Each structure stands twice: as C-alpha cells, then as structure tokens.
Amino acid sequence: MAGARAAAATASAGSSASSGNPPPQEPGLGELLEEFSRTQYRAKDGSGTGGSKVERIEKRCLELFGRDYCFSVIPNTNGDICGHYPRYIVFLEYESSEKEKDTFESTVQVSKLQDLIHRSKMARCRGRFVCPVILFKGKHICRSATLAGWGELYGRSGYNYFFSGGADDAWADVEDVTEEDCALRSGDTHLFDKVRGYDIKLLRYLSVKYICDLMVENKKVKFGMNVTSSEKVDKAQRYADFTLLSIPYPGCEFFKEYKDRDYMAEGLIFNWKQDYVDAPLSIPDFLTHSLNIDWSQYQCWDLVQQTQNYLKLLLSLVNSDDDSGLLVHCISGWDRTPLFISLLRLSLWADGLIHTSLKPAEILYLTVAYDWFLFGHMLVDRLSKGEEIFFFCFNFLKHITSEEFSALKTQRRKSLPARDGGFTLEDICMLRRKDRGSTTSLGSDFSLVMESSPGATGSFTYEAVELVPAGAPTQAAWRKSHSSSPQSVLWNRPQPSEDRLPSYQGLVEARSSSSSSSNHSDNFFRMGSSPLEVPKPRLAALSDRETRLQEVRSAFLAAYSSTVGLRAVAPSPSGAIGGLLEQFARGVGLRGISSNAL
C-alpha cells in the first residue's frame, strides 16, 4: 500500500497547490467512505456496532431522494426481505415540487408490493430481487442479481426451512399458499414456474421491458454445479415477452488488472477466450441502428470503449419514446450492476434530467451511499484483492463528459432546422469537444498520447470522432493547440528520438485471465500524475455537463484520497478446509458474506 499512500499524498499536494478552490465536500462523505471501507453493509446490523453511522447514512439518502421526488419506503428491517439491500428501500413514485410534497398521495400499496417482492425473491441469486432505483421520464430503472439456479433454489429453500424452525421465509405469511402450492415444490419445472412466475409479475408491475444481462457466462458454475442461471437460457422461455440483451462485461476480478496497470483502462482488453466465457453479445437489431457502433468488434474493445458503448446502449433504452422500464443485472448484482447504475444516474443528473436540485457533492454522496454501500458492495474484500471496480466507476466519469453521452441530444437534433451540407463553426467546435475515451484522448487528465512507430504491433479500433489535419507537422501543431490541460501540453511536446516511448504489445492489448492476474508493469509506461490527483481547472470553457461531471469526479478523488487511499486493508482470513466450505456455502447462496470475516 506504499504506492497508494504516495499517490494519496501527491493528490493532497496537487489539490492544495491548485489555483482553484478545492471541490466542495458533502458533510459526512468522509464518514461514509470510512464506514464503507471498514465493513460490508448488512441490513440486520444497522442498529448494532457502528449503527449510528449507518443510520445517518440511511437518513441522508432519504433526505436527498426527498429533494426531488415523492416516494414510498419498502421496509426491510433486519434484512427480512434481503440481507444486503437497504433497510429503507426507496420506491420513487413521481417528481415533485415542495408544494406537492405537502399533499403527497401514494399511488402504491406498499403491503401488496412487499408481498410480491417477498414471493419473488427466491427467483434471484442471494434473494436480490428486482428493485427500482432510478425514475426517469416515468420509467423505472431497476437492479437485481441474476436468476437463481436449482442448486441455490433448493439449497436456500432447505436452508431457510431448517434454520427457521420449519418455516420457509420465502413462503411464510402468504395468505394463499395452498396444498397444491406445496406439492409444486416436488418438481423442478413446477418450482421454477412458481418462483420465476412471481419474478415476472414483479417485472410487469414495474413495467420493465428491457433486461440487460452483464454476465460473461450463460450460467455461473462453482464446483461443477450450476449455481445461477439467467433469463437468456431459461429453458421454458418464461421471459420471452421481454427484450433480452446479453452484453457481457468483465467481472470484478478483471479490475485487478486495471489496478496493476496503474489505473490505466486504455488498452486493457479482456480475454474472451477463457473456458468459462460462453455468453456472446446479443442485442436485437432494432436497438442498434441509431448508435453507429460496430458491435461485432466488441471483443476487440478495451475497457474504456466497452464501458462507453454499453452506457450509450443503456441510455438509448431509457431515452426511447416508449414507457418501458429497464433492468440491469450481473451475477450477484453488487459489482458490475452498481457500476452501470451509477453511471446512468450521474449521466442523467449531469444533463439536468433527474435529481435536479442536487449539487455535485450531494449526488456523489447519494450514488456512493445508495448504489454501492447500502446495496452491499464488498469494498473491503475488493480492496484486499486489488479489484478496484468502485474506484474505476467514479474515475471513469472523465470519459463520458461529451455530448454523445447526453440524453438531451435526441431532443436537440429533433428541434434543429434542416440546413445545407457542410460544416459550420458550431459543428467544428462540437467535434473538438468530443470525448474519445482512448489513448489518443486529449481531454483526459491521465491520457497517454501515442505516436506511430515502426515497431508497434496491433492496432486500436477506436471510433474516429475528431477531424485531424493530414501531415505530421500539422498534426503536431494541431495537437498542441487543442491541448486541454497543462498535463497534455507537457505530454504532447516533441521528444528526441532516444526519449520516445518504445512500443510494446502490452500497450496495445493487455490480455487478462480471471484465474491469475499478470503483472503488466513492465509492458507500459505511466506519464503524468497520480490517478488520485484532483483535476486542476482548465482554461477552456466547459459545457454544463462536463463541468458537473468533473466536479463530481474531483470531489470523489479528494475524498477517496483522504480516506480509502490512505488505508492498508489486510486480506480476508480463511482456513484451508473451513474457507473452502464457506466459499461453497456462499457460492450456492446458502450464506451471505459475513462482515466479521471481512
């Protein structure tokens, strides 16, 4: 952790030396990150050790939601519904003004909704049911885990029955459980029909039409057993009425590579040839026409491109003209799922479309607390393994600042009058502002400019989004004139031939294996400042969207560097046989992750 301490020290020095004011901090953000990096949230521990801190976090989230929305609360006291979901699950009903809040009339029968959730939860891995978390244009954006397989379904049912004194908590206190219902448990198909039928009812209640599955597997296998499934491989095609999108995205293990490469996501490509990767990308054609993305090349994209393109897809779904909601899930729903839920929330907020009254520090607090902490992300465990997907999420905001990620652009285009061909000055300015999100990006504070070299192997497949004059001297002058930060000016200076960066295969493509993490430190060179350094103000005028996202990212880096970035986290202890049994119990969903073990 010496490197992390040095990085954090550099960040603090860089922040204090900046000519601008430090990013405004949300009261309690430091406490939130301290608690988050200490233990995993468990609903039943909310009033125990550290309970006062957790209660403050929960209360603050309710206050921030209440600024712009009228909502109902689904009680999850002591984790009765789900142990790693918030104790107070927010069900956003509609946007509201201060005057409307005084006359709020709920449109939801909470008791019946809670009953439906209680019935449906066994259909999902770890009981992490479909939960609405964002309301946009009247549509619910939801999150969950993937579907439970027979191993977890029977294992959890038997485990709950045995340890609750003969009362299966998924079926207890349900008014219409008949003898026929009990008899249905004896057959695989009937049991799946029952629990997945309730899951489908919940999806329809929330008007969800699109289901985006981030798994790289069709089914998660542990110890030779299918412990989870997914909608895309449901044999009975129970989910055929929904629009299913398989958009495989690397799991949290892959982000060890991101950390090992000094937090450089550019050029980092997942190894799609691993044995367990069997879920191809599958998106209905009618959803891809307007995005101008070559989806057939998804296995060639680096981590930046892949995240950008998937986010564009999700934004296009929620910004469509219909009233259909969206579900995003991975396996357990606490790593990749919060990554994209957070990016959706922050991107829509930056456009002024949701949480309109929240300041940058406030939306940051809400996103960290609600989307990550209260929904059970295991930050302690991930830090101990170097799997820094949480840090990646907020550092990635620098790659989505341009208008191509704006949900407003569709309306803008519709309102623009027709005109003759040719570029105007406005067009050129817009092209200049585009965020390429690659190693050629000049708008990124930590980007790396690569010169062409006869020794370079491989090639990038980044989309061309900027007009570059032909000719090496012209390009050099153009790059220098378009530099957007003091760092990029420094990096773009012509170098003597003996000082030029040598080309390595690792710069172009860093293949990863989830079973073993390779050290890429010899395959690339890092230039510039620490990844934790707070960005300095730029002279060029920024769009409102870019300014807002930059402020969120700056506030996060400042808070992270003074809390998590200065802490050395010890690995989780586990005995050989005991640890193996514990891993098996967790793998099949019989037991959640104990906060004491973390």
User: Which residues carry out catalysis?
Assistant: 330
Helix 544-562 vs helix 336-350: angle between axes, to the nearest 10 degrees? Answer: 140
Question: Which string of DSSP letters, residue by residue, matches 391-455?
Answer: HHHHHGGGGS-SGGG-TTHHHHHHHSPP--SS--HHHHHHHHH----STT-SSSTT-------TT
How far CA 299 is from CA of 123, 241, 306, 514, in Å, comes to 31, 29, 9, 16
Helices (H), 40-97: 51-66
Question: Which string of DSSP letters, residue by residue, matches 111-164?
Answer: HHHHHHHHHHGGGBGGG---EEEEEETTEEEEEE--BB-HHHHHHHHHHHHHHT
Give the residue from 49, 131, 43 showing the smallest Cα distance to 79: 43
Q: Under a CB-based contact definition with an 8 Å cutoff, are residues 253 and 514 in contact?
A: yes
- Reported residue count of the chain is 598
Quote the tokens at residue 315.
């934004």
Q: Under a CB-based contact definition with an 8 Å cutoff, are residues 363 and 346 in contact?
A: yes
Give the residue from 343, 396, 391 showing the smallest Cα distance to 33: 391
Cα separation of 42 and 57, whole Å?
A: 13
Quote the tokens at residue 45.
């521990």
Instruction: With H, G, I as helix, E, B as strand and everything else as coil, classify residue 73.
Output: strand
One-letter amino acid at 531 equals P
Give the residue from 247, 309, 233 showing the smallest Cα distance to 463: 309
DSSP 8-class letter at 75: E
Question: How crowded is residue 112: how many other Cβ atoms within 10 Å of its Cβ?
Answer: 10
Cα separation of 118 and 112, whole Å?
A: 10
Q: What is the dihedral of CA 574, 578, 584, 589, to 10 degrees?
A: -80
Give the residue from 588, 591, 593, 592 showing the smallest Cα distance to 154: 588
How far CA 509 is from CA of 503, 505, 523, in Å, comes to 11, 6, 10
User: Residue 139 phi/psi, 5° resolution?
Assistant: -100, 145
Cα separation of 330 and 124, whole Å?
A: 11
Quote the tokens at residue 43.
């609903």
- 214: Cβ contacts below 8 Å, ≥ 6 apart: 247, 248, 249, 328, 329, 330, 336, 337, 340
